[in-house]
């Protein structure tokens, strides 16, 4: 059954669209009581209900496993609250802050690390937004502001433009970065008016697209991204490594190539965060490192994201990709390097001569 051209928000709507069997209604109602549901028609039309392994359904269709929280999981897995000096601001790194004006998304990823907040918390009031902007203005070390949430591109062009204009007025802020799923899940929202609203006079604006599978980059999604790039807004991507979605080298490589074809530079490959009820999506770090090894040398350097882990507790991201370099001892006892190529072969490389031995 083909879904109607509307966003699905209630278990009955998922059932009517043929995405959930009627006998699972009770368990999905339990999920909906705990976490927000929303699936746009653009995404619903990509799903094959007859395929139990469909990678799009796995990301967006609710499942009872979401209620199976593990002891190591936490409501705030990356420690946003630890670094939130005022409502709507997260200041984890010295030169940049997150600004979260809204906690709503066009569609809700079932593995979201902010799943306890998105779709539940209210948007910033005008008073709260003014306080957040005052914080940015008084902290001159802030060079970059990252608009996130929620998804900032669900805001109207007028509202988004007001926020961007406020940031443009702050002299020490040089970069405005926007994290979004909208070009994929609701591409029609990327209108000429919205693109204009993103352009901050005198600042560099970047848009970072969240995409996890090549099938998400439909012709409509590609056109939405082209509207941004053609307007002079560079695009990067972030991808979450998800079991059953993109944890095979060929699948991940296809996504990275598709992004580069759209003029989007792969930026981050995130290891899954310890959000409640998300264990069935998480892979082992060793699996992620093996995937990065498989991409290395076999896909263009443009297709190589940085594999990162957001350390629980608010300690920030760290690269956790494989290492290709080792320090070894030669036959005469001197230290040298050993470098592994993309075929797995090892090669000696000499250290630099010490000062005085030249």
Residue 266 in tokens = 């792969």
Question: Per-residue pLDDT averaged across 105-132, rounded?
Answer: 95
Residue 265, beta-bridge partner list: 236
The residues carrying an active-site annotation are: 92-93, 96, 105, 109, 112, 114, 273, 310, 317
pLDDT, one tens digit per residue, over 264-274 is: 999 999 999 99
pLDDT, one tens digit per residue, over 139-171 is: 999 999 999 999 999 999 999 999 999 999 999
Report the side by side order of strands in the sheet with 325-329.
325-329, 335-340, 346-349
**pTM for this predicted structure:** 0.94
pLDDT at 329 exceeding the cut of 90:
no
pLDDT, one tens digit per residue, over 23-74 is: 999 999 999 999 999 999 999 999 999 999 999 999 999 999 999 999 999 9
pLDDT, one tens digit per residue, over 231-244 is: 999 999 999 999 99
Residue 241 in tokens = 């490594």
Do residues 215 and 185 make contact, with C-beta atoms less than 8 angstroms apart? Answer: no
Do residues 38 and 108 make contact, with C-beta atoms less than 8 angstroms apart? Answer: yes
């Amino acid at each position: 059954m083909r879904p109607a051209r509307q966003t699905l928000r209630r278990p009955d709507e998922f059932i009517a669209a043929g995405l959930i069997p009627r006998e699972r209604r009770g368990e999905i109602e339990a999920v909906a009581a705990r976490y927000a549901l929303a699936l746009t028609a653009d995404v619903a039309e990509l799903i094959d209900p007859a395929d139990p392994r469909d990678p799009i359904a796995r990301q967006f269709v609710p499942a009872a496993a979401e209620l199976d929280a593990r002891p190591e999981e936490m409501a705030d897995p990356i420690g946003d609250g630890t670094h939130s000096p005022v409502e709507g601001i997260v200041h984890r790194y010295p030169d940049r802050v997150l600004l979260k004006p809204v906690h709503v998304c066009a569609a809700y990823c079932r593995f979201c690390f902010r799943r306890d907040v998105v779709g539940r918390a209210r948007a910033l009031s005008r008073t709260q937004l003014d306080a957040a902007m005052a914080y940015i203005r008084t902290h001159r070390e802030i060079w970059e502001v990252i608009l996130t949430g929620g998804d900032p591109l669900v805001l109207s062009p007028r509202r988004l433009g007001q926020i961007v204009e406020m940031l443009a007025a702050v002299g020490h802020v040089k970069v405005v970065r926007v994290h979004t799923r909208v070009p994929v899940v609701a591409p029609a929202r990327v209108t000429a008016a919205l693109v204009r609203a993103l352009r901050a006079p005198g600042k560099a604006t970047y848009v970072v697209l969240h995409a996890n599978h090549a099938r998400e980059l439909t012709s409509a999604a590609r056109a939405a991204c082209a509207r941004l790039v053609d307007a002079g807004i560079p695009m990067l991507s972030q991808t979450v490594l998800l079991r059953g979605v993109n944890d095979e080298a060929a699948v991940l490589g296809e996504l990275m190539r598709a992004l580069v074809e759209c003029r989007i530079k792969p930026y981050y490959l995130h290891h899954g965060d310890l959000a409640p009820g998300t264990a069935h999506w998480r892979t082992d770090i060793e699996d992620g490192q093996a995937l990065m090894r498989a991409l290395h040398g076999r896909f263009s350097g443009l297709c190589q994201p940085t594999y990162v882990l957001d350390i629980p507790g608010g300690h920030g991201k760290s690269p956790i990709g494989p290492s290709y370099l080792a320090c070894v001892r030669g036959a005469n006892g001197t230290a040298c390097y050993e470098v592994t190529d993309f075929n797995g072969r090892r090669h000696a490389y000499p250290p630099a001569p010490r000062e005085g031995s030249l």
